[in-house]
Amino acid sequence: MRILTLYMCLSFLGDLLAQDSTVFAPPGSTFYYTEWGSGAPYPGLLTFVSDGEIVLHDTTARILNFYATEGEVLVPLQELNKYVFTSGNKVYYWVQDGFYLLYDFGAHPGDTIHSRVEDFWLILQCFADFSNGPFDFSYVIDSVSTMHVDGQDLRVQYVTPIHTSGEEFWYMENPIIERIGQVASACYWWGRGGGCFLGGFAGKLRCYEDNDIYFKNTFTFYDLACDYVAAVEPLSPNIKSLFPNPTNDFINLDSAAESIFIYTTDGLKIVSHKNQNRIDVSTLPPNIYIIQFQINSKNYIEKFLKL
């Protein structure tokens, strides 16, 4: 009898430990982000909506459907959907070919989190070089605390990214809030690359809500309604009109652009043209650059590598 009782207790303990002890993007949750909008009185809206499940590598994950502003409505961009699942205190998300740890809300100060990131072509404010595909990044937990949000105590982490010489530098913004993720700057949940340009308000989380809590972000630049979707500049998909890339001398566009601006990765405008479809970049030092151009009154942002 004692052996049976012990076995039952151990089984219950095992089941208890196997249960999720953190929440991230539960079904029905919505993340509202601010779109970059140069010259617009108010930026547009980008959202992730948790709706549905998918099985990837024998793991059942939640589908985070992505929507972006097109004119004054939200349209789905399924190629930018994300997939997440939780296990215990840990949050995993899909990166190209597998699940990788994103957060561990059971981590202690001094612990290091190792993760991975892939290209998300909808540029908000910052970027990184994904010419060789996804890359690994790490960050250290500096301190932990709690935040009271809509009747619930959520764990909060303050972190420092690790910069390894010769590898891509990736930022994790503070704070990271359980259930919500990063809230401060242009980063979504998985952070942002080095090299920011064109302002400092893009990509910030406006609001988060699910069936149990509502969070209005105090870090936002604009005090906008969560679901505000109006935008002066319609969002355009990442067209393949920039070639060759990489380049030694010229960048070509499919058609003439009304305006063309080239920026360094730290935001310095170095080239300006009008009504051209062929841009001479032969005098630029080898590096990664940002090009912003307008075709048929639609704005596009791309990055290119000058060899």
Token pair for residue 4?
Answer: 């049976």
Provide the pLDDT for residue 20: 56
Range 23-35 burial, b when 16+ CB lie within 10 A, else e: bbbeeebbbbbbb
Question: Which pTM was predicted?
Answer: 0.70
pLDDT at 203: 57
Q: What angle do CA 121, 188, 146 make, to 5 degrees?
A: 170
Task: Kindly report, residue by residue over 203-234, the tens digit of the pLDDT.
Answer: 578 899 999 999 998 766 566 788 887 654 44
Tell me what the mean pLDDT of segment 110-126 comes to.
Answer: 81
Query: DSSP labels for 62-112?
Result: EEEEEEEEETTEEEE-GGG-EEEEEETTEEEEEETTEEEEEEETT--TT-E
Tokens found for residue 203: 């990509």
Mean pLDDT of the chain: 80
Percent share of the chain, pLDDT over 70: 75
Assess whether pLDDT exceeds 70 at residue 252. Answer: yes
**What pLDDT was estimated at residue 294?**
78
pLDDT at 12 over 60: no
Res 3 pLDDT > 50: no
Cα dist. 76→69, 179, 228, 296 in Å? 9, 23, 16, 22
Residue 300 has pLDDT above 80, yes or no: no
Each residue of 61-72: pLDDT tens digit?
A: 999 999 988 767
Question: Which tops the pLDDT comparison, 191 or 179?
Answer: 179
259-277 pLDDT, tens digit per residue, is 888 877 655 678 888 898 8
At residue 16, what are phi and psi to the nearest 5 degrees? Answer: -65, -45
